[in-house]
């Protein structure tokens, strides 16, 4: 999942100037683009995968993890997730009055067919659903609880 241009406009001002690719006062490498790093962070939050499994299309996992830690400590990540959730709710893609329980971990009842196939392969998910999946992380759930 990559953050859309509309979503980026909502959260861009929440990220500090030092996260926008300029060099530090002592020189060195320019910082990675905050949008790319946010995409990587949201991918890990959505999938629950270890940082080391971050695909190559994102910045290095060490960079994403370091920025995730920094944003978590200073409250930036919570503000970003809150802005994304508010934007998603305002667009009609998030209804906080509904909930669901995912029972995929539940064992089959005795006598159920072990070789049953799924009827249809799942198609690509919408950006609204992919964004909503981010809010299943502990920090995302905390943000949603505050919005009620």
For 54, the domain range is 5-96+124-147
Cα angle for residues 45, 62, 49 (degrees, 5° grid): 30
Q: What is the pLDDT of residues 14-26, one digit of tens each?
A: 986 555 555 556 7
82 falls within a domain: yes
Q: Report the alpha-carbon distance of residue 131 to residue 86 in Å, rounded.
A: 11
111 falls within a domain: no
103 falls within a domain: no
Q: Are 58 and 40 in contact (CB under 8 A)?
A: yes
Give the residue with greater pLDDT, 28 vs 1: 28
Per-residue confidence band for 35, with pLDDT thresholds at 50, 70 and 90? very high
30 falls within a domain: yes
pTM to 2 decimal places: 0.63
112 falls within a domain: no
Q: Are 147 and 90 in contact (CB under 8 A)?
A: no
102 falls within a domain: no
Query: In what helix (H) or strand (E) does residue 2 lie, and over which residues does it extend?
Result: none
- pLDDT value for 102: 63
51 falls within a domain: yes
- pLDDT value for 16: 65
Residue 142 Rama label (left phi>0; alpha psi -120 to 50; beta): alpha
Number of domains into which the chain is organized: 1
């Amino acid at each position: 999942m990559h953050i859309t241009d509309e979503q980026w406009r909502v959260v861009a001002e929440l990220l500090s100037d030092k996260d926008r690719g300029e060099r530090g006062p002592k020189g060195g490498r320019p910082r990675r683009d905050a949008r790319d790093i946010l995409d990587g962070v949201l991918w890990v939050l959505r999938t629950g995968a270890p940082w080391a499994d971050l695909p190559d299309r994102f910045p290095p996992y060490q960079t994403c993890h370091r920025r995730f830690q920094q944003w978590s400590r200073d409250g930036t990540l919570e503000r970003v997730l809150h802005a994304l959730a508010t934007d998603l709710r305002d667009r009609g893609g998030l209804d906080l009055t509904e909930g669901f329980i995912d029972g995929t971990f539940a064992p089959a009842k005795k006598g159920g067919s072990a070789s049953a196939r799924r009827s249809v392969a799942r198609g690509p998910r919408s950006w609204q659903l992919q964004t909503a999946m981010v809010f299943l992380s502990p920090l995302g759930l905390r943000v949603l609880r505050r919005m009620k």
